[in-house]
């Protein structure tokens, strides 16, 4: 099987639900950001020291979550493809909150603003946080485009995704601090 199909040469791509849309469609922007975030998490995993095997497992679970979220973003509400997907529920965000709480218990209280940096893994966690925020913004923009009877179903589908991405960006911030602490490197403090 060839990897290239030439079907996208005129600037359109197919959604998982079958519709053809331009490659700069908000739906594709949103799931493209999620795909990019997943790649950044792969880089973060590669930068983790072997001692953080538990974090590696968390990140692999998050990558699977994001794969499911990408599928949700790649379908139109009410489509037959949407009915086949596993729902994104509150259990997804709860798991992220548990990860955050576990990490924060091990960190000193934050006394000032910090800048991205420190250990290589912390820097990748900060980069993942920023890509996550962009995915969240594009998901919100996508939700704002709904109209009419499709709106309720669209918001039901996108609201849990927004919440998850919001929580996930917090996770990456805390993880960056944890990576620095584990590497015995101070966070980079903002100085005005």
What does each C-alpha distance from 68 to 37, 61, 62, 148 come to in angstroms?
13, 11, 10, 26
Cα 144 to Cα 136: distance, rounded to the nearest angstrom: 12
Q: What tokens appear for 160 in the block?
A: 């849990």
| pLDDT per position as a tens digit, 22-64 | 788 899 999 999 999 999 999 999 999 999 999 999 999 999 9
Q: What tokens appear for 17 in the block?
A: 């639900």
Cα 119 to Cα 127: distance, rounded to the nearest angstrom: 13
Q: What tokens appear for 29 in the block?
A: 């922007």
The pLDDT value recorded for residue 35 is 97
Domains of the chain by residue range: 17-189
How is 46-82 classified by DSSP, letter by letter?
HHS-GGGHHHHHHHHHHHHHHHHHHHHHTS-TT-HHH
| pLDDT per position as a tens digit, 140-149 | 999 888 766 6
pTM of the model: 0.91
Of the candidates 70, 94, 71, the residue with the CA atom closest to the CA atom of residue 81 = 71
CATH of 17-189 among 1.20.1200.10, 2.60.40.2140, 1.25.40.20, 3.40.50.300: 1.20.1200.10
Tell the residue number behind the tokens 């919100």, with chain if given.
Answer: 140
């Amino acid at each position: 099987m060839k990897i290239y199909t030439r079907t996208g040469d005129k600037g359109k791509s197919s959604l998982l639900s079958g519709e053809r849309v331009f490659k700069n469609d908000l739906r594709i922007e949103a799931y493209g950001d999620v795909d990019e975030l997943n790649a950044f998490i792969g880089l973060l995993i590669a930068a983790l020291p072997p001692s953080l095997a538990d974090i590696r497992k968390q990140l692999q679970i998050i990558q699977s979550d994001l794969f499911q979220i990408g599928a949700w973003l790649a379908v139109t509400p009410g489509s037959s493809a949407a009915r086949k997907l596993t729902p994104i529920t509150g259990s997804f965000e709860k798991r992220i909150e548990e990860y955050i709480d576990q990490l924060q218990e091990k960190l000193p209280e934050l006394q000032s603003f910090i800048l991205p940096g420190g250990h290589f893994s912390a820097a990748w966690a900060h980069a993942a946080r920023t890509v996550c925020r962009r995915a969240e913004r594009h998901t919100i923009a996508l939700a704002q485009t709904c109209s009419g009877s499709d709106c309720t179903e669209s918001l039901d589908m996108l609201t849990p995704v927004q919440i998850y991405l919001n929580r996930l960006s917090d996770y990456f911030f805390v993880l960056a601090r944890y990576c620095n602490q584990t590497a015995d490197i101070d966070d980079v403090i903002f100085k005005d």
